Structure 1
Amino acid sequence: MKRVYIDPQHRGQQLGEKLLAALEAKARQRDCHTLRLETGIHQHAAITLYTRNGYQTRCAFAPYQPDPLSVFMEKPLFADLRSAAL
């Protein structure tokens, strides 16, 4: 995803959640194991959305360089099979 925003008049309808869930489902179908993203430190709604949906902060990843104005996040899409057996 790149520069995705929900128009203010359409917010509050869980559209961000639905879009993110659809993206994750498609990525799983394509056997992607991890999703990574970069967003700005002032994008509080986006950071909250990603955190609420299981994304965790991480260090910068290629092609990005560390940037004090960026937040880097990732989410594994498949549970560890060892923990699933417990």
Structure 2
Amino acid sequence: MLSTLVIRGGLKNTGSDCYSLWAKLDTGSAPAVRAATQCGPGVTSVNLRSAPSMSPNGTLSLCRGEGTLDCGQWFSAREFPAAALPTG
């Protein structure tokens, strides 16, 4: 039976910097995609859906800024809620 991994929620920021959520869905070699970015205080909706497969999988990473130079560790999409990036 084919299943689809669906991720819905919000990327919340209470500070003045920009933060982005990056996602790798499924097990292929496709690069990560930026799923959402929130600059300054507020919440940006996150709605992701994997391709149907026998065992859908996804990993996520929270990054400071809009790129992937200052990111936390990748974690399974099944480990929500995600913790904030460490400061300092």
The TM-score range, normalised by the shorter chain, is under 0.3
Q: Mark the structure with the bigger radius of gyration.
A: 1
| Bigger proportion of residues as helix | 1
| Bigger proportion of residues as strand | 2
* TM-score for the superposition, normalised by structure 2: 0.27
